[in-house]
């Protein structure tokens, strides 16, 4: 289990509590801190997690986390998510299923028809286009992860970069239950603002714009505090 974080003191205890409820299936729990100033690392240690540090953005954190663990399966989660009550059963079933990569359904914190339609669209994109993103989690055999080249130390688009390579080798399948993702970015920018920004970033990525330039667009003057997609 690898969780990249940056200043997630208000959210990390919740996902760690979810994990603790079924700790028997976790061989390792590594939290990779991007340089938090709010005590995130201390919270992770108090919860029994091992903590490593990595600068350069979420891609570098995820790559380091995979390197510093040894279990045959890797589960990557963002630090601002909540696991569903039946997550352990879903993961256990995946471990004995035919080889595949696995992801959760997406549920964004909040209410409204717009979010429901968005979540339905994400489900279709993930299934038919084989493009789940990092906020849906990723469960993958280490051998498949390594064969696909693993996470690259990108400051943005590291999730899309990996799933495109992984999907060319293994079918990506849904675990079933939904991860609850913090809705702070959606509240800040609004539903259509987030969709518009995401679409523009993906289009630029497809056209060959580098991840560093995209990170500058995404974070603006806050690029020194690059964190996970909120």
For the chain, which domains are there?
2-225 (3.90.550.10)
Q: What is the overall mean pLDDT for the chain?
A: 92
Which residue's entry shows tokens 């970015």?
185
What pLDDT is recorded for position 223? 42
Per residue in 30-72, pLDDT tens? 999 999 999 999 999 999 999 999 988 999 999 999 999 999 9
**Confidence grade of residue 93 (pLDDT, cut at 50, 70, 90):** very high
What pLDDT is recorded for position 207? 92
Looking at residues 164-193, what average pLDDT do you find?
92
Which range among 64-68, 111-115, 194-198, 224-228 shows the weakest confidence by mean pLDDT?
Answer: 224-228
C-alpha–C-alpha distance, residues 64 and 202, integer Å: 25
């Amino acid at each position: 289990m690898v969780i990249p974080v940056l200043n997630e003191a208000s959210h990390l205890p919740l996902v760690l509590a979810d994990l603790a409820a079924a700790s028997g299936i976790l061989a390792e729990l590594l939290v990779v801190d991007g340089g938090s100033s709010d005590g995130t690392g201390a919270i992770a240690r108090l919860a029994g997690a091992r903590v490593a540090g990595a600068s350069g953005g979420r891609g570098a954190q995820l790559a380091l986390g995979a390197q510093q663990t040894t279990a045959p399966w890797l589960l990557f989660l963002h630090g601002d998510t909540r696991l569903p009550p039946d997550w352990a059963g879903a993961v256990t079933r995946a471990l004995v299923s035919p080889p595949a990569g696995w992801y959760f359904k997406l549920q964004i914190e909040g209410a409204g028809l717009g979010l429901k339609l968005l979540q339905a669209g994400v489900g279709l994109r993930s299934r038919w286009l084989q493009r789940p993103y990092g906020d849906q989690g990723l469960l993958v055999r280490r051998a498949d992860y390594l064969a696909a080249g693993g996470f690259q130390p990108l400051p943005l688009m590291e999730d899309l970069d990996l799933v495109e390579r992984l999907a060319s080798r293994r079918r990506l399948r849904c675990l079933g239950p939904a991860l609850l993702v913090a809705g702070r970015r959606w509240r800040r920018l609004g539903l259509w603002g987030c969709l518009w920004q995401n679409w523009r970033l993906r289009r630029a990525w497809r056209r060959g714009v580098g991840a560093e330039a995209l990170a500058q667009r995404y974070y603006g003057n806050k690029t020194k505090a690059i964190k996970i997609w909120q």
